[in-house]
Amino acid sequence: MFFVLLLSVCFGLFFYVEAIKFSLPRWRWTLVGLLFGPLCMPLLWTHQKLNVKRSQGFNDSRMKA
């Protein structure tokens, strides 16, 4: 039981740091990390990409090397 609680806190911190890096709502993503852990990683990545696209504009073209 202690391991599950420790793992939950670690994922909460991870989601908190990632939310700060991409200027997403911090406390919402911390709560999601605490409750669901790694199951919400694809959702976080999607929100990060959408946030970057919103800030750059959807019609912006970029070349990747």
pTM value is 0.77
Stretch 59-65: mean pLDDT, rounded?
A: 69
pLDDT at 55: 83
pLDDT at 4: 87
Tokens, residue 39: 């199951």
Check residue 3 and give left, alpha or beta (phi > 0: left; psi -120 to 50: alpha): alpha
**Cα→Cα distances 41→21, 28, 44, 46, 63, Å:** 15, 14, 5, 9, 26
Tokens, residue 14: 């991870």
Residues in the chain: 65
pLDDT, tens digit, for every residue of 15-51? 999 999 988 899 999 999 999 988 999 999 999 999 8
